[in-house]
Amino acid sequence: MEKHSGKKVNNGIAIGKILFYSKSKDKIETKKVENPEQELARYEVAKEKAIMQLGALYEKACKEVGQENAQIFDVHSMLLEDEDYNDSIHQMIMEEKFNAEYAVAQTGENFSRIFSEMEDDYFNARSADIKDVSQRIITVLKGYEDEEIIGKEAVIVVADDLAPSETVQMDKSKLLAFVTKYGSTNSHTAILARTMGIPALVSTPINEDCNGLMGIVDGYEGIFIINPDQETLEAYKEKQEQDSQEKELLEGLKGKEDITLSGQKINLYANIGNVDDLKSVLENDAKGIGLFRSEFLYLEKDTFPTEEEQFNIYKQVAEKMKDKKVIIRTLDIGADKQVDYLNLGHEDNPAMGYRAIRICLTQTDIFKTQLRAIFRASIYGNLSIMYPMITSVSEVRKIKEIVEEIKEELTAEQLPFVDVEQGIMIETPAAVMISDLLAQEVDFFSVGTNDLTQYTLAIDRQNAKLDCFYDAHHEAILRMLKLIVDNAHKAGIWAGICGELGADTSLTRTFLEMGFDELSVSPAKILPIRKIIRETK
Amino acid sequence: MKTFTYKITDEQGIHARPAGMLIKEAKKYQSKIIVSADEKEAEATKLIGIMSMGIKCGTEITVTIEGEDEELAVTNMQSFFKQYL
């Protein structure tokens, strides 16, 4: 039996087999394929995709560093089209019947060796270019396979670190818990674990030797046990049982109103990341969706989701929720949420970088596609839109201009829509300070406490070393919350909280006292918070 | 068949960027275009082949062109080398 301590991200007890997940690029499988023609076709598709990615990188680099410096991406795509390179891959697949990943990796290796053996530093360095483009195809190939990370059996997923795009791929019904070696308590993996209501630990000293062994994750104490002895296992099984009994108690709160003993009502909504989460929203009896994180539509794919694809998703959510409010947050990519095809590039300070509404107001075509999809879906339910990362009144006015354009387009195309409530996230100190002005422009405020705290306290959410300085209950944040809700009410609009702090049960009473009209929390937190609200005087 | 020689003047030799441009230029013609230097040779349409020759500044290369449009190709390839390499 081995015991490791980690930082707890979400409570609960999980008992099950451990699956150690290592990044796909670390291992390249060698296998013989039965159908080489099909394998070759896979390669060709992946190559085209890689060339498209490089094309997008080239365009972006042209704008930023000039055509001359951008040409390296052009050279990269030419490398992928090189006859000798392709001949070698064709031969390995067609004649030796190797899988495409291996053929590309081996060919990349062979050709890069030609350069690394040359007696010239410049040409030596070109071996990296060949490896780089080969890796790009392999990555596309791996993505293409869409291999299930988790098999048939439910498992505790253990990894060095997990990117949001990796966690979204996992089959959630087979996921018992997360344990990661790196990552902070505020990472997106952590948020996902809370949304799913499964135990999770980060900063846990683990290695891959635990793969396949039995494990226990104690999300209450922050302990990860590998290969537990019988006694420990029994004790935890009992604890798990108690846990589910408590959950049963909360079941009794379903269908009840979110109202205090003195009659103060508050809207208790849920935060969701994709359509699958709807199930737990309804199960936990949330009265609406206060934050639909639309970026998962973008993270799950290799290319931009089309208007039709988005429309179908929004329509589905609107219909399922019927007359209950669904607040869709527009694209909030950037910072720790990255998508390859957007080619956002490296930023020294991504949290303060090109993200969220800044992308939408720069690349308006992306924004317009999303807005059109939302407006078209508006006739199927009770939709609202919320814009992230606002810092100024002029941004809001620009958004409204774009929305007007969209509406005119839709009217001209005779596509039906209804007017929806439009609100903004208050997640920058700037937005807090001018919340009186912003309140004149919009229908509601929703406070994004995670970013607001990070910007106010100057603490990087991704840096685990700073967790000890990160005080979610900092007086500065509490004062800001009060200011926001007061300014909202003065202008006659409503204010809510959709950040992690909204689910902090030790603050529920404080939020009620401040006068917040809405709290949007992960579905698993709905009933515990309802319990507190109903016990408040 | 047409042949010409050219001495590389670009300080870095035929490095990635101009090699890429060379390949694009060579692909415009139906003729087969071979670049040779120091007992090595490669088709001008093959990027890795050309780059792996490691042609440096001062190297004298021979370009051999054979095919239907060799007249046009030889003129244009000569001016390409003068302009970029």
What is the secondary structure of A506-531 as a DSSP string? TTHHHHHHHT-SEEEE-GGGHHHHHH
B49 vs A: CB within 8 A: yes
Nearest to A129 by CA among A170, A79, A183: A79
| Distance separating alpha carbons of residues A347 and A363, to the nearest angstrom | 18
A20-29 pLDDT, tens digit each? 887 655 577 7
Question: Is the predicted pLDDT of residue A195 greater than 60, yes or no?
Answer: yes
Which segments of chain A belong to CATH 3.50.30.10?
Answer: 2-20+160-244
- pLDDT over 70 at B48, yes or no: yes
Contact of B51 with chain A, judged by CB distance below 8 Å, is answered with yes
Given this model, what pLDDT does residue B13 score? 82
pLDDT tops 50 at residue A165: no
CB-nearest partner of B46 from A84, A118, A122: A84
DSSP secondary structure code for residue A171 in this structure: -
pLDDT at position A73 over 70: yes
Mean pLDDT of A525-536: 92
Q: Which residue has the tokens 């926001």?
A: A484
Distance (Å, rounded) from C-alpha A225 to C-alpha A527? Answer: 29
For residue A305 the two structure tokens come to: 């989701």
A260-535 has which CATH code? Answer: 3.20.20.60
**What are A496's strand-pairing partners?**
A446, A518
Summarize the confidence of residues A27-43 as an average pLDDT: 86
> Which burial class, exposed, middle or buried, applies to B60 when counting CB atoms under 10 A from its CB (0-12, 13-18, 19+)?
exposed
Residue A428: both structure tokens together: 């920058």
Under an 8 A CB cutoff, do B51 and A119 touch? Answer: no
- The pLDDT, as a whole number, for residue A119 is 74
Look at A31 and A392; give whichever has higher pLDDT.
Answer: A392
Q: Do A68 and B45 touch (CB under 8 A)?
A: no
Q: Closest approach of chain B CAs to the CA of A81, in angstroms? A: 9
Is residue B38's pLDDT more than 50? yes
- Asked if the model's pLDDT at residue B16 lies above 70, the reply is yes
CB atoms near residue A231 (< 10 Å): 9
A313-325 burial code (b ≥16 CB/10 A, e <16): bbbebbebbeebb
Highest average pLDDT, of A106-120, A128-142, A380-394, A522-536, comes from A380-394
Q: What percent of chain B has pLDDT over 90?
A: 11
Distance CA B47, CA B24 (A): 9
**CATH fourth-level superfamily of B2-84:** HPr-like (3.30.1340.10)
Testing the interface with B: which of A78, A89, A109 to mutate, by most B Cβ within 10 A? Answer: A78
Q: E-assigned strands of A417-509?
A: 421-426, 444-447, 494-497
The answer to whether the CB of A16 falls within 8 A of the CB of A199 is no
**What is the mean pLDDT of the segment spanning A146-160?**
76
Known catalytic residue: B15? yes
pLDDT value of residue A335:
63
Q: Please report the pLDDT score of residue B72 as a whole number.
A: 87
Residue A334 DSSP class: B
Mutate: best of A75, A88, A124, partner B, most B CBs <10 A: A75
d(Cα B85, Cα B79) in Å, to the nearest integer? 10
* Chain A: residue whose CA lies nearest to B54: A123
Question: Given CB atoms, is B18 within the 8 Å cutoff of chain A?
Answer: no
Q: What is the average pLDDT across B14-18?
A: 81
Q: Is the pLDDT of residue A263 over 60?
A: yes
Name every residue whose Cβ is closer than 8 Å to that of residue A487 and which is 6 or more positions away in sequence: A435, A436, A439
* Best to test chain A binding among B8, B51, B55 (most A CBs inside 10 Å): B51
User: What integer best gives the mean pLDDT of chain B?
Assistant: 87
Gap between the Cα atoms of A317 and A179, Å rounded: 31
For range A326-345, the mean pLDDT: 81
Tell me: pLDDT of A186 over 60. no
Query: Considering chain A, what is the average pLDDT of its residues?
Result: 88
SS3 A403: helix
| B74 Cα distance to chain centroid | 10
**Complex ipTM:** 0.84
Q: Please check whether residue A317 is in contact with residue A29, taking contact to mean a CB–CB distance below 8 angstroms.
A: no
Q: Is the confidence at residue A197, as pLDDT, over 90?
A: no
Closest CA to A424 of A451, A461, A458: A451
Strands (DSSP E) contained in A361-420 are: 382-387
pLDDT at A9 over 70: yes
Give the percent of chain A with pLDDT over 70: 92
Q: What is the mean pLDDT of residues A384-406?
A: 97
Closest Cβ opposite residue B47 in set A82, A122, A123:
A82
What is the mean pLDDT of the segment spanning A461-484?
Answer: 90
Cβ–Cβ of A120/B54 closer than 8 Å? yes
Using CA atoms, how far apart are residues A455 and A317, in angstroms rounded to an integer? 32
d(CA A132, CA A346): 16
- Please determine, for residue A169, whether its predicted confidence score (pLDDT) is greater than 60: no
What is residue A146's predicted lDDT score, i.e. its pLDDT? 40
Residue A497 and residue A447 in contact, taking contact as beta carbons nearer than 8 Å: yes
- Listed ranges A165-169, A320-324, A347-351, A459-463; the one with the highest mean pLDDT: A320-324
Yes or no: say if A352 and A388 are a contact pair by the CB < 8 Å rule: no
pLDDT, position A173: 80
Pair A243, A234: CB distance under 8 Å: no
**In terms of CATH, what superfamily is A26-145?**
PtsI, HPr-binding domain (1.10.274.10)
The structural architecture, per CATH, of the domain A2-20+160-244 is 3-Layer(bba) Sandwich (3.50)
Residues of chain A with CATH 3.20.20.60: 260-535
Highest average pLDDT, of A277-281, A301-305, A349-353, A429-433, comes from A429-433
> Within its chain, how far is the Cα of A29 from the centroid?
28
Q: Tell me if A72 and B17 make a contact (CB, 8 A cut-off).
A: yes
pLDDT for res A145:
44
pLDDT computed for residue A216 by the predictor: 95
The residue that leads in pLDDT, A126 or A39, is A39
Which B residues 22-41 touch A at CB under 8 Å?
23-24
- The order of strands in the sheet holding B40-43 is B2-7, B60-66, B32-37, B40-43
Q: Which of A143-152, A258-267, A400-409 has the lowest mean pLDDT?
A: A143-152
Residue among B13, B46, B56 whose CB faces A82 most closely: B46
**Which residue is associated with the tokens 């415009």?**
B28
A279-334 pLDDT per residue, tens: 889 989 999 999 999 988 888 777 889 999 999 999 999 999 999 999 999 999 87
pLDDT of residue A64: 63
